[in-house]
Structure formats: C-alpha cells, structure tokens
Chain A
C-alpha cells in the first residue's frame, strides 16, 4: 500500500508558497524544505520493553537564501505569533511575519560575517531546472495499521523463541523501528513532495559461558513496513547460533591475509574506504586523495561501485534530496577506474559539476552535506564455494561493528564482529573475534581477485560525517576476495 503524505505538510503548503514568493522578491535564490518524519522504536529485552520516538523523527522548516554574497540558512519549528497551525489572521499575514523574521536573521548573519577574521567564499545563486511532482513509497504493512500491540507481540515471540534455541543466552534484544519520512521542497523552479517508509530491525543475543560474555547482532532493513519482522524471524536461528560460537572465539594472529568479505563487510569497505572519499565536499576542502585519481585505475577490473538514491531500493532511496535535487545512480568506479563522485548543491557549484542528488541533512536542524545513499559493489561471476576453495590460509569476514573514514590518506579501518578461518580451501570451524581490519584503499581494491554473483544490501545503523550528522545509508554488494591486514 502507498505511504500516505503528511497532513501537516499539506496544511502548511500554502503558507510556505507565500513565504517563498516574498523571499524571492528580495533574494536571488530562496528555497524551503519542510519535514514531517515520525516513527517509533520498539525494543523487547528479557526483563524490559521500551517504546520511544525514533531519533530520526523530526518536524520543522529550513529556509535557504542567497543574499547576493553567499548562502545562509535558518532552521525553525515554530511559526511567529502562532501557537499552532495557521493563525486566525490567515496565511498571508503569517507569511509576511515569517518573511520579516527571516530577513532579520539574514541581516544578523551578514553583520556577524563582517566581523569575522576570514573572507566569504563566493557561490553563485542556484539556477535550477524545473522539477515538480509528488512521490509515494509503497510497503506491505504500515506500522500504524499493524499497531503497537501486535508489533510488541511479534517481537516478544522472537525473544522467547531465542531462549528456546540456546542455554547460553543471558539477554535477547529484539528491536524494530519504522519511520515514515515526509518532505516538501519549494524553490523558484521546484515544487516537490515525497513520502516513504523505511524500517530496520535488530536481533542482539547476548551469550555467556563462565566469565566470557559475547554479543552478536543481526539486522534487517529496507523500504518496508512491519513485514520486516517476518524477515527477522528467518534470521533468528543463525543469530543465536553465532552468539554461541562467539563464546569459543579466538584472537586472530595479527598479520596480512587473503580474506573474503561477506556482502555486509564488503559494504563497509565500499562505504568507509571509497564512499566517504568521493563525497565531493571533500574535494572542495582538498581532503580527498581520490581527487588525484579521477579517470585513473583505483582497483582491479573486477571492481565496480555505485552510489545513488535511485541505484537500489533500500533505506536511503528517495525521489529528491534535501536540496530539491533528483536522486540518481552514480557509477563511482567502473571496472577499476574512478569515474565520478557524489555531490550536494554547494560542492557541485564549487567544482562546476551538476549535483548528483546526494545533499542530505541529519534533520531540518542541520546543514546539508554531500552524503552517501545506497553504496555497493557490483556483483561478479564467482561462487562463494570457489572463493573459499582458493584460499590456503585466510578468513571469511562476517558482520561489522563500526568503521571510520580516512579520505585524505585512504586508510581503511573497521571493527569486524567475527571471522571464520579458512584452511586449505575449507572452513576450519575456528571463529575469531573481534577483528580489526586495516589497509590502504588502492592496495585492497587492486588485490580484489574474485567477486561472487551474490548481492545483498544492509541499511541498519547510521552513517556519520566525521562523528556527527547521522543519516540513513545502505551498503553492500557481493562476496569479495582480497588481501587485508587483520589484528
């Protein structure tokens, strides 16, 4: 069924159009983004249950203007003189009051700017191509129709089933979060509205034997509703089994190994190693090593990498970004050659390129940056069995805990939850955990020697820009064989 549009945005549409007309009379460029995203996070544990607003819930407005010198923004979620909704004096008066408020803010910003010990970087006022319309995502089950009682019942059932599968569990966390995202973007050439729903779920068994405590996590995600809980149920036995296996995990002998990255870990490498490094605001800041490699080989011919809101159907698939630019599919690496980066509006202006629809905000309260959406390696033609058989001593790396970008120096860092040892072409049964992977991006991508025909994306968790600006992204790809340092 279609995800309904926001009544709140519909109610404020006329007001925002009037505001935009007033601002455009004064400024070379003006736009308004209005957001209304809402969702609940359900967590069932052994001894407690919690239901709370998703951290991705937001409702507010951000106005961007070009005042003839540069861009400034004002984020707000209360309308002047109104306690709620549109006041009795009507939208025209409210639009005037709001425009006056924004004028004051713009003047204050200009005044503050004049006292700074730095100069203003010039940007042109945006000249946009016309782009209008409305878009609705579709899911099988809307969370509000499923209802909180049924969601808690399904999660509780998974929790209880987990305890029947293992005697070593001390806790079992089962989480479901579904967020309906609704956005309205208005500018001189753009009139856009979209509503879609993404969901994510986690299975987190905590196992203990003696003094050893281990935590596994298995996730599911997508542009889905509560039907996602059914997918989680299918992954439960494996999640519990791995939590038991981790109790006997060894430490990896530090060194360089042939490794197979499962689709989740391949996604981490795609995201941290290359994705952040081709966000084009990094090029503007001269923080990206990738800038030296445009049009040049960066990996084996087996490596192709995409990013884009329209490149796949996952949690970061949208119709337009937070600057009103259509989502797209960017071929970042084509058979080993770096072809293109991903941009927000300002980085595209600075580099003289068309924006790719990757301008994303954590919420209406925050700035838009060039951000990844759905980032993945393209599948190849090898089989996982053949990849394992080709390794004398190495590891199959599965699931990750965290990763961090290093765009300037192209270092890879990731904490992998566990790896399975491969000896003489077979899984030996030995599990190692945790595993820190490190390497130099071109070395790791050049060393890719086999790529499987499988393909999977994962959109659980959050992506930060540095250590803030958290947003939803998905990552993934096939199984990939390469060489990395493990520790």
Chain B
C-alpha cells in the first residue's frame, strides 16, 4: 500500500513534499459486567495519515500549504490519485508561512522492549483479567466491588516516512482499563470511575490501582455533604494535579505563542513575580516505564530527547514541533511524549496538618489552558479539621491558576498517570467552594 501511495505522490503535480504516518494496530478487547464476560472483540487495522505540502507564491510572498488526510488501505489507485489531487488543490488555499520539514539522519535510542512482547496478545488477557479482579471486594462492611470494566490491549507499530527521506519506526503496546467500582452506604449505592493505562505487564500496579479505587468508593459511600466553605485551602490529589498543570504546558507551547494565545516568552517566570510556595520544574521525556505515550520520535519523525521545559518556575524552552519552533526562531523540542514534574517541598502528611479540603475525585475536573479557570463537581473529598479526615461529596470548587499559583505547594510523594509522573498532590489557597450543606 505504501509503495502504491508513493507512486501516486510522485506522479501528482503540485506535491512539493509529503509525510506519511502509518500505524498498524492489532487489538484484543474484553467487556466485563460484574464478574461476567459480556462481549469480546478483536481488531486488526492499518491507519495511514498523509500530509501533502504545496509550496507557492502569491503577491511575491512564499507560502507552504499543508493538508492532512486519511488514506484507507483498501482504496483503489484511482481513488488514491483523486484524494492526493484534492489535497494539493486544497493546500493551495492554505497561506501559511513557510516552514521546514524534519531532515533525516538523527538517531534516537530505541524504546526498551515491553514485557508484553514475550507472548501473543491473546495470551495476556487471562493474566490481566486476574490482576484486575485480584483485589476482590474491599472495605469491611462497605462491600466495595467492581461494577464493570473494559480491558483493551493493543500492539501498535508506527512508521513515519517523508519525501525528505525520513523513515523511522518503533513499536509498543497500549493497555487500557476503564474501571467502574461501586459501594453501598447509608445513603445507597455510589460509584467511581477510573481510567488506567499501561504499556507493560505490571500486575501489582494494576491490582493496586483497583484496590485504591475500591477503597475510595467505600469512602464515598460513607461521605457526608460538602459544607459551604466560601473559600478554602484545598489539596488537589491524583488526576486533577495533571489537569491543573496543563495550563503551563499550553502557555509554554510554541504554537500558543505564535498564535498569541500565550504571552509568555523564554526566561519569563510562569508563576508571576512574587512566588512564595514551590516553583515548578517540568521535563519532557521520550521514555517513561509503563507509559503508552513513550516514543523515540514525534509525529514528524523528529528525534525526541529529555528536555527541561520549565525550571524553578521559569520557562526554559518553548516546546513544540519543528514548524512552530521555526516560526519563533527557537530550536525545536519536537512534540512532547511524557512529562515529568519535580516533586515539591511538602509531604502529604504536612499538607494534611492544617484545616484543608482534599479532593481526590471530581465528576470531571476542568482546567482551561487559555484562561486558567479551573473547577469541577466534587465526587469525593476529605474535610480535614482538628486532626480528623472525614469523606465528603457534592458541591464544587473553582478558581483561576493565575490567582493561586503565587503560593502553591507540591507534594514530595509522586504518582504516575501513564505519561505523567509528578507530585501526588498540589496545595492551593483561596479556592471558592460551593458546598451542599
């Protein structure tokens, strides 16, 4: 298929350059309802993403237009030709500043082999299912258990080619579990939702995440209503930490700077002038054990390296693909694979030493990467008062990153959420809390 497509690209007028990202996916899927298997699926697909570049001049100004289309492996030759011709025609309308493509020749260390590589995909379904169901019901008298779960395991081969001569490839595994746990409490049954991603067979990690979620569901079943606090010192724990920090990644992106969504420039303090708490340090990493985001190359075939993006609250690199870094006149980092955030100065125990609202699960924590607004409905939190930590649920919290980041504290304890490794918790002050009692 790729050879056929390359022949079409060669003979189509107006194709200045091209890039192809080819992914072959072999997948197996199991769908559980309680401890019963509801459905099984298998998947074998090839996805081809073609970028067609067309260089032209208008009014004495040079432009490089690009159109990205999907190419289907069962397409007939005539269809392929039509798609490429249509893409060239459309690219003539795209008046973007010229930019270079990735040149071949760079090297990138290969990804370490996944532990899944040792046997056929289908052979992992039973051990993964055993790890998923190993924890069993949790919590004395609370009967927290798995309501339902979906298990996906994909073997993915990626190849990136371009007219510049780039031809790189890598392979990996993408595991995914959607987990729904439930528990009975005085107010009836409650549930919690969790996504777990993994790239290798780490049964203890999987069972541990299920166990933690069962315990949290048990707590939610016992939770009282969140009190009306107006504003409070809060601890965001678990997944919301990653979402909260997403603001800085958008603001440090070369594309955001080019489009003036971000006003930051390299050397700026991202947390403002007066920083009393912890200062952020964030790195981009091509490889992180267990992460499905690990990749030696970005989507353009650019070799990824460990890169400091933010150090002690100061933006060190505008990050992004070759195109937008070229526009800014800065060296490219390539697209980011994994993010590693340096731990902070406070332990979780220290954070919990004063009156706090610690939120561990939202219905859907929302963080706007442009405005900095964040918030969400509280599915499970803990009110910490006078040395007691009692579960609460309901109500919401909201704030703005720019109003709280002058004094925030990151935990010393770390967590890993697929391609994110960073503090388990972030402590914020003056956050608006809408309670229900």
Within 8 A of B (CB), among A408-435: 408-409, 411, 413, 415, 434
Query: Is residue A77 within 8 Å, beta carbon to beta carbon, of the partner chain?
Result: yes
Complex Cα gap A49–B65 (Å):
8
> Are A413 and B376 within 8 A (Cβ)?
yes
Complex Cα gap A37–B97 (Å):
31
- Chain A residues lying within 8 Å of B74, measured Cβ to Cβ, are 8, 12, 59, 77-79, 82, 84-85
Interface string of A22-55 (1 = CB under 8 A from B): 0000000000000000101000011111111100
> Are A411 and B363 within 8 A (Cβ)?
yes
Query: Is residue A164 within 8 Å, beta carbon to beta carbon, of the partner chain?
Result: no
Interface size class of B (residues with CB under 8 A): 35 or more
- Chain B residues lying within 8 Å of A82, measured Cβ to Cβ, are 74
In angstroms, how far is the closest chain A Cβ from the Cβ of B308?
A: 26
- Chain B residues lying within 8 Å of A149, measured Cβ to Cβ, are 89-90, 92-93
Complex Cα gap A47–B371 (Å):
20
In angstroms, how far is the closest chain A Cβ from the Cβ of B169?
A: 18
In angstroms, how far is the closest chain B Cβ from the Cβ of A88?
A: 14
Query: Is residue A109 within 8 Å, beta carbon to beta carbon, of the partner chain?
Result: yes
Knowing A109-B40, A116-B37, the reply to whether A46 touches B259 (Cβ < 8 A) is: yes
> Are B434 and A254 within 8 A (Cβ)?
yes
User: Please, which residue of chain A has its CB at the minimum distance from the CB of B92?
Assistant: A149
In angstroms, how far is the closest chain A Cβ from the Cβ of B120?
A: 9
Query: Which of B30, B39, B126 has most chain A Cβ within 10 Å?
Result: B39
> Are B45 and A76 within 8 A (Cβ)?
yes
- Chain A residues lying within 8 Å of B201, measured Cβ to Cβ, are none
> Are A409 and B95 within 8 A (Cβ)?
no
> Are A404 and B364 within 8 A (Cβ)?
yes
Complex Cα gap A286–B191 (Å):
11
Partner of A73 from B39, B148, B260 at Cβ < 8 Å? B39
Query: Is residue A486 within 8 Å, beta carbon to beta carbon, of the partner chain?
Result: yes
> Are B373 and A367 within 8 A (Cβ)?
no
- Chain A residues lying within 8 Å of B436, measured Cβ to Cβ, are 438, 485
Complex Cα gap A362–B433 (Å):
36
> Are A52 and B68 within 8 A (Cβ)?
yes
> Are A467 and B195 within 8 A (Cβ)?
yes
- Chain A residues lying within 8 Å of B95, measured Cβ to Cβ, are 49
> Are A115 and B94 within 8 A (Cβ)?
no
> Are B4 and A285 within 8 A (Cβ)?
no
> Are A117 and B130 within 8 A (Cβ)?
yes
Within 8 A of A (CB), among B154-204: 178, 180, 182, 189-191, 193, 195
Partner of B261 from A84, A119, A206 at Cβ < 8 Å? A206
In angstroms, how far is the closest chain B Cβ from the Cβ of A483?
A: 13
User: Please, which residue of chain A has its CB at the minimum distance from the CB of B366?
Assistant: A415
Complex Cα gap A70–B70 (Å):
34
Query: Is residue B205 within 8 Å, beta carbon to beta carbon, of the partner chain?
Result: no
Query: Is residue A127 within 8 Å, beta carbon to beta carbon, of the partner chain?
Result: no
- Chain B residues lying within 8 Å of A38, measured Cβ to Cβ, are 70
> Are A53 and B68 within 8 A (Cβ)?
yes
Interface string of A284-316 (1 = CB under 8 A from B): 111100000000000000000000000000000
Complex Cα gap A40–B52 (Å):
14
> Are B180 and A285 within 8 A (Cβ)?
yes
Query: Is residue B230 within 8 Å, beta carbon to beta carbon, of the partner chain?
Result: yes
Interface string of A273-285 (1 = CB under 8 A from B): 0000000000011
> Are B41 and A367 within 8 A (Cβ)?
yes
> Are B371 and A213 within 8 A (Cβ)?
yes
In angstroms, how far is the closest chain B Cβ from the Cβ of A415?
A: 5
Query: Is residue B138 within 8 Å, beta carbon to beta carbon, of the partner chain?
Result: no
Within 8 A of B (CB), among A172-215: 206, 211, 213-215
Could you pull out 30 A-B pairs where Cβ atoms are within 8 angstroms? A8-B79, A40-B90, A49-B94, A51-B66, A51-B91, A53-B70, A70-B37, A72-B41, A76-B43, A76-B44, A78-B44, A84-B4, A113-B37, A118-B32, A118-B35, A118-B129, A148-B86, A170-B260, A171-B261, A215-B371, A254-B432, A255-B434, A285-B180, A287-B191, A408-B191, A413-B363, A413-B396, A438-B394, A466-B195, A485-B396
